[in-house]
Structure 1
C-alpha cells in the first residue's frame, strides 16, 4: 500500500490522567514467523492474535504467492495450510515486502533452501536497507543473489537445488541474520550452526521447537552457539501470538510520564531477550509490575502494570541494545522527562533501521526543547526533570517508532508535539491513536 499523502498528527497533554486496561497488537516478530513456519509445516496451523498490520499482511501475501493456503478466519485469527519444509513453489510475480526488514530477511533464508527463482522488492524505506548482511552468509548454501549496489532491494534469488548447511559467526548482533541462516538450514542435510557474540531475540528458536525441529543452544567461550538439525519434519502447531512488547512500550512510557496515571497492558510477551526496556525503566525508578505471568506458545507472557513515577537518568550498557533495539526512541522520551543525564551506549545498529533512528531520535528531542547529543554510537539525553517543553514538529522519516515516540512525548509536554506523517504507524500498531485516546478519556492525539 503506497502512502502518497502524508498524515500530519499532533498530541497534547490529556485533560485527565491515563487510566484503563488495554491489549496491544500481536507481537510483530512472532506474527511473521507464525505465518512462515505454518507455510513450511505439514498440516494446518491455526494462529490467534496475529498482528494485522501492513508488514505482517505482506508476509501472508508472500506465503500465499509461494504456494501455501493462508486465510483469515476472524479478527487476529488465521489458518495456514502448509507445504512442508522444501515444498514452496516458484512465485508468479515479484514479492513486495512493503516496509518490513524482518519479513524480507527471514524470507531470503527460506528461499535460499528452495530450488526456485524469486524477485523481492519493498517500499522506499526498505529499498534503502542493507541486505548484504543476509545474502553473504546465505550464499554458503549454494543460493545465488543479484542485488542493486550496496546489496539493496530489489533483488533476485535463485535458491539452491541441494542446499548446504551453514556454519556462521555473526559479525553484528542481529536476530534477523541468525534467523535467516536457521531458516535456510531447514532444507539442508546435516547441522546448521550460528554463533552470536551477544544473545539476540530467540523467537525463531522457540518457534522451530514448537513446530518440531531440533534446536540446541549452548553458551561457549566463542559466544552463544545455536545448532539446527536439518531437514526436520515440521508439523503444524497452534500459535497464540502475545502482545508486542515493542508496542506495549508506548502506553507504558506514557503512563509513567503523565501525572496520576495507572495503565495495565494485558497479555504482553515477556521473552527475556526482548525486555531490556522494562529493565532500564525500573533502573530509572519506574513503577512497573507484572501480573498473571504464564507461558503461551513457547513464550513467557504477562500483564504489565505501569504507574506514574519520577524518573532519574541512568547509563544503559551496550550489551542491552539487542534486547531493546526498537525501544530507544521511546526510552529517549522517558529520559527527556527524567532528572539528570541518561547515556544510551552502543547504538550503531540504530543507524540502519527504518530510518537512521539514532539521528532521528536526537532530532526529535532537539525539536522539542530537550538537549541531546550523539557521541560515537552513544546517545546522551539531558533530562528536564519534569515537563518536557514540546512545541516542535518532528520529522518521522517514514519511521513508525519515531512517530509514536513523538506523540507519546506530546502527552507529557507543556506544548503540543506534531509529527509530519503518522501514516506509517499502521505498519506495526494499527489503531494506536484511538487506543491512546481511550486511556486519556478524550482526543489527546489526532490530525494536525
Structure 2
C-alpha cells in the first residue's frame, strides 16, 4: 500500500445521477411499450471482425432478423464494444483500437444517426481501453499499463507494477469528468507468486464504492516475458471510493481461484439488497466456476456458489446476466467437451438465494465466447442463440420457472459460417 500513487488529473463530478438508476450494468425494464431492441452481429470470429447492428420494437415469433444486405456497420477497428440506454433509443460504441467513442440515435431498423464522437486516446494513454456502462448517465473507461521494476544495485528483476487509468464519461455529451492514474496495490499473494495485474474490467457501483474485476499474468523468469499463466490461488478485486475514484485497495478471498474481470460479458452486479455478486472466471479447466458475494466492502466468507458442482459438469464462463431477485443466466462452456474457443457452450439458470442451478435445454453447437449482452423485460429474459453456421432464434426464457425447458423460440435469426450474434441491447 505504501507504493500507491493516486493523482487527480481532472476533478469535479456530481453524485446526482447515480442514486436512482440501475447501477449493476444490467438493463432497466421499460414499461412504455415502445422500447427499441438493438441486435448486434459480428462478421468474423477473429479480433478484427466487423460489427453490425439493427433494431426492432418486438422480439416475437413474427419478427425475422437477418444481416444479409441489411444492418448498420459500426466504426470499429476490432469488434465494437456496444451498449444502449435503458429504452434502447440511444446507442454507444467504443472503437476498440481506434481510440474513439460514439453516440448514436436509434431511429429503428438500420437507421442509426451519429450525434456525437469523442477521441479518448490521449486522455487514456492508449487506443485500446475498455469501457462499461454504469447507468443511463455515466460509463467508465479503463486501461492498464505495466512496467517492470529492477533492483537499482544488482539490476535484477523485482516485480511488474500495474498502472491503472480510469476515466468517468458523461453520456449526455461524452464529456470526461474524472480521470485518475495510480499504481494498483500489490497483494500478499502477488508478492508470493510474482503475478501482476494486466487487465481490469467490468466495474460495478455499490453505495459509495466501485469494484473492478482484475485479470492476472505471470512473468517468465528466463526472458521476463509477461505472458505466463497466473497462479490464481485466490480471488481479488480492486475497490475505490466512488465517484472520486480515490483510495484504491484490494479485496481478496481464498474461497476460490480465478480472474474477476471476465471477457466481454458483465461479471458483477448489485442486487436489490445492496450486495454485489461476482462470477469468477478461469482461463482453463483447472478450477471450478464460482459466484461469490461482496457485502459492505468485503467478501462474504459465508456464501459460496460452485456452478460446476451444482450442474455436475466442469464449466468455464466469461460472465453472466443478473435479472433480479437472486436469479441469473450463465453462458458456460463444458470444458469436458472442449475449450471456450469451441462450440461447446450452454446456458444455466441460477438462483443464488436458493442456491440452485439448472442447465437449460438450449441448442447444441453454440459458441458464446464473445457474447456481450442480453435483456430482461417483464419476467422474460432474451438471448440470441444460433448454432455455428445455422439459423437460430432469439429465445424467450421464463424467469419464474426452474424447468430446464423454460425457454421458447421467438424471433428467428439468420447466421452464417464464421459469424455470430454478440448481444441484445
TM-score tier (shorter): under 0.3
Q: TM-score, with normalisation over the residues of structure 1?
A: 0.26
Name whichever structure is richer in strand by fraction.
Answer: 2
Q: TM-score, with normalisation over the residues of structure 2?
A: 0.27
Name whichever structure is richer in helix by fraction.
Answer: 1
Q: Which has the higher contact order (CA 8 A, sep 6+)?
A: 1
